[in-house]
Amino acid sequence: MEIGSIQSIANAIPKTKIAEKTNGKQFEDVFKGVVNNVINAQSESKNLTEQYIKGGDVQLHEVMIAGEKAKTSLQLLMEIRNKSLDMYKELTRIQI
């Protein structure tokens, strides 16, 4: 069995652009979507809490689940922000 050169292996790997892998979505669009999801989860939690307080037809477990979803989505957003800032700092450090 003969081992091919690295160049022939590299040519066999399909070359795609990052924009093609994300179906044309940019990081900004993805980040805006995450922020909108967090806002929606928080407003849903707020609405269910208000309905429960006013004696509406809402169970306590629904209020708690909505609150945890809002909390978890906000924590995810903060982690994405932190990792993005770390990545930016690392890239600026590499350029120097």
Higher pLDDT, 31 or 42: 42
The candidate with the shortest Cα–Cα distance to 79, out of 25, 43, 31, is: 31
Domain range summary for the chain, segments of one domain joined by +: 23-95
Residue-wise pLDDT for 14-32, tens only, equals 555 555 565 656 878 888 8
State the average pLDDT over residues 22-49: 87
- For tokens 């994405």, name the residue: 80
User: pLDDT digit string (tens) for 54-92?
Assistant: 999 999 999 999 999 999 999 999 999 999 899 999 999
User: CA 88, CA 34: separation in Å to the nearest integer?
Assistant: 19
Decide: pTM greater than 0.85.
no
Q: How confident is the model at residue 1 (pLDDT cuts 50, 70, 90)?
A: very low
Three-state SS letters, 22-91: CCCCCHHHHHHHHHHHHHHHHHHHHHHHHHHHCCCCCCHHHHHHHHHHHHHHHHHHHHHHHHHHHHHHHH
